[in-house]
Chain A
């Protein structure tokens, strides 16, 4: 087996190997079927590059992630404030009206402050009933001094998140990352795949060579 690296994108096979491959290609009848040597059309190459970029960008954990407890911490603080509690316990209005007003008051207050969680709050809206259920759990965690970003809100439960980002000192961070080792593996996997396929097809005669199918067929 011989390899030529002088023009790697033209052909990785020697002239003799290419001549032999061309001879077999033209003289062999594979059950009555012939094959051409066309390259992948350029628009399709573009489509494949777009596919890879889409695959990487669309699957970031940012999209479709579970809400973490930190995004609701301010909701809980405001819900427990005197001002909101007063509305929630107002006997002059109906229960539903009280809930609606209290939630509106919380959201209006939150709108006045910049927050790193604005996007995630819009992704995971919450109502007062669910807030009431998760609030005691969030308060307990705050008392314990843990990082709320390491806890996910799943239905009525606030649970330790399922992320295992091992730090250099051996500790495990459970905050959802924007990048994780799954992406690193995916990038390397793709690079190795591209290299493998490029080597495979570049061992064939160059695509400018057109086989003559009249010889064997």
Chain B
């Protein structure tokens, strides 16, 4: 990477930025899930580790969340955008040099941000935990340069039309920058009380709704038609999906605060919009699954399609939960319980991660022009991820229902802790499986770079046989 920082633009091989982001994303995924496994172990075995203050749960939870969101998820998005955006415009990335610098400064910034969280320097707001200098760094050094590269690549495309994936990419990076700057207003201007609460959850909701889930969907809009060779089922359903994300996903932030003293009309509006999140979900799932017509055998035989379609199928329970759990009646029961933790992991580790993993698997093969080293290891990774995630999700959902019942019937807290213990152990087991699966993934990708079969120019990796 370092040799390209001061090289001329033309001397930097195309795809370098995408590749650096992809490798960084996998490394951060290992770090993030490793931290998650450590945290889950502390909940499953509370006496297991004492000692360094910075390694206590209160510090580590934030570091885990941000390592996964900004390390794995956002960098996997950046990697996907760096190679998919130019491909769809029949052009090259606007600036590989900017992309390489962006990747370097992104990694440095993330290390700094996590170190500060680790040392206890935090805003104290969930999801927008960073202090304001770090917020500004993230917005202006990490996100906006990434966006500039995407926007300029689209502006300099050599096609007249813009494919659905690129609508999402361009809009989501733009909206993320806005969400970051507006959502952190409490940090910049010391807002307190309801203003602080609302802005904090406006930020958290929109980071999920305007970055993490729509960009994952955009990746699948590329991967499925590209690998199956089928045309996307419907351009016009793509419109419905895109505009319903913009209209219905950006508005229901108040549904995170249904028991707060926010004006009730705002909660009513947010709650209706919350259920209407099912509109983009239905349009999206229908569009992708119908694109698979006649190619369902690839769900078994092709690793990228396996990851992608699993992600799309996980989007169904994700949106069913998301749509209904925020209504007053259900929210009253599950608010503040492990159910929410399970739901968040369904979004991040379920739908989003599976889609991104497909994007990174495919991207690394295409950028290196090398066939995946081992299909067996990739399948092992897939099942470790799926089984690990499923264990995590089901155990935390059950734990959440127990907590909800205990909350309503005012069961003493210590009894709830005892009742939840087996589920905490299963949670740790599931998270640890994901962690080990990711180590195997990194090995497989390193070996792909070193020993993967060459993919001839003009051919797809799917058209080349595995050598192992």
Query: Which positions in A face B, CB cutoff 8 Å?
Result: 24-25, 28-41, 44, 47-48, 51-52, 54-56, 58-59, 61, 63-65, 162-164, 176, 180-183, 185-186, 189-190, 193, 196-197, 200-201, 204, 207, 211, 213
Contact = CB atoms under 8 A, between A and B. Distances in A.
Given A181-B265, A201-B239, A193 B244 contact: yes
A188 to B, nearest CB: 10
A193 B282 contact: no
Contact of B269 (A30, A40, A48, A186): A186
Nearest to B236: A201
6 contacts: A33-B225, A55-B323, A59-B328, A162-B262, A162-B264, A163-B263
A65 to B, nearest CB: 7
Contact of A59 (B84, B251, B275, B279): B275
Given A25-B161, A40-B283, A200-B239, A34 B232 contact: yes
Contacts of A190: 276
B231 interface: yes
Contacts of A61: 264, 268, 328
Contacts of A55: 271-276, 278, 323
A37 B243 contact: no
Contact of A51 (B84, B90, B276): B276
Contacts of B248: 193
A180 B237 contact: no
A64 B160 contact: no
B127 interface: no
Name, among B239, B267, B276, B290, the residue most crowded by chain A CB atoms within 10 Å (CB to CB): B276
A204 B279 contact: no
Contacts of A31: 84, 87-90, 163, 226
Contact of B276 (A24, A32, A52, A207): A52
B332 A64 contact: yes
The size class of the interface chain B forms with chain A is 35 or more
A179 to B, nearest CB: 9
A205 to B, nearest CB: 10
B272 A182 contact: yes
B282 A162 contact: no
B225 A189 contact: no
Nearest to A190: B276
Given A51-B279, A200-B239, A201-B236, A183 B269 contact: yes
B159 interface: yes
Given A59-B275, A186-B273, A36 B235 contact: yes
B296 interface: no
A61 to B, nearest CB: 7
Interface in B258-298: 258, 261-276, 278-279, 282-283, 286, 290
B446 interface: no
Given A31-B87, A38-B237, A162-B264, A197 B243 contact: yes
A193 B275 contact: no
Interface in B212-262: 222, 225-226, 231-240, 243-244, 247-248, 251, 258, 261-262
B329 interface: yes
Nearest to B331: A64
A55 B272 CA distance: 5
Contacts of B240: 40, 197, 201
A213 B231 contact: yes
Given A164-B263, A182-B268, A38 B327 contact: no
B88 A33 contact: yes
Nearest to A123: B329
Contacts of A40: 234, 236-237, 240, 283, 286
B324 interface: yes
**What are the 6 tightest A-B residue pairs by CB atom distance, in nearest-first order?**
A64-B328, A182-B268, A55-B275, A64-B329, A182-B269, A182-B265
Given A29-B159, A38-B234, A55-B278, 11 more contacts: A28-B160, A31-B84, A32-B87, A35-B234, A51-B275, A55-B271, A55-B276, A65-B328, A163-B263, A189-B251, A200-B243
Given A33-B222, A201-B236, A51 B282 contact: yes
A193 B243 contact: yes
A39 B236 contact: yes
A197 B237 CA distance: 10
Contacts of A52: 276, 279
A44 B282 contact: yes
B202 to A, nearest CB: 16
Contact of B235 (A65, A183, A189, A204): A204
Contact of B236 (A29, A181, A204): A204
A196 B161 CA distance: 20
B353 to A, nearest CB: 23
B278 A51 contact: yes
Nearest to A64: B328
